[in-house]
Amino acid sequence: MKCRIVEIKARCSDVSRIREILKSRRADFRGTDHQIDTYFRVPRGRLKLREGQIENALIFYQRSNQKKSKRCDAFLYQCPEPDLMKKILNVAFGVLAVVDKMREIYFIKNVKFHIDQVKGLGRFVEIEAQGRTPECRITELRRQCDHYRKLLGIAPEDLLADSYSDQLICKRQNRGTTCLRGRRGR
């Protein structure tokens, strides 16, 4: 399935406040999922296999690394045999990074919210305004994403440009120093 997404990622120092705001807006809490995202070395974009109890999918996406709300074009394939898929992709491409996280998942209509505890990185909040139809306008998704960023009180200085995988790669290359603000060309 092809999906258009406008998203932001930010550091989160007050998880309780975020939960309360989502609850007050009657967000649909889908549960807490332990997810392992395995990223593979591909020539362009990003390819990851997500393994969790709630969400399991092979996901290919392309987006720029920028701190403001960013457009992401993604293809999702619900993967019935993730172990076999991981073996095939590892042989074909090799593993780039593995992200291990506990993720709380919420929805308000087409907008998805994540509260993440990422092993080795800390706590984050993500907002994804999703469009699954050709009529979906990026400007409307961006407006939704920015509306919820303001509602949740996410300060511009807490916004992050890089993916969790980029942050972990940077941390590994810099021997433990977390790279939460830098931009990477990948």
Maximum Cα–Cα distance across the chain: 47
Over its length of 186 residues, how does the chain's per-residue pLDDT go in tens digits? 888 899 999 999 999 999 999 999 999 999 999 999 999 999 999 999 999 999 999 999 987 776 778 888 899 999 888 999 999 999 999 999 999 999 999 999 999 999 999 999 999 999 999 987 766 788 899 999 999 999 999 999 999 989 999 999 998 888 655 565 443 333
DSSP secondary structure, 166-184, as one string = HHHHHHHHTTT---SS---
The pLDDT assigned to 138 comes to: 86
Instruction: Give pLDDT, residue 186.
Output: 37
For domain 2-173, which architecture applies? Beta Barrel (2.40)
Q: What is the pLDDT of residue 62?
A: 87
What is the pLDDT at residue 177?
Answer: 55
Domain limits, the chain: 2-173
Distant-in-sequence, close-in-space partners of 55: CB < 8 Å, separation ≥ 6: 33, 35, 105
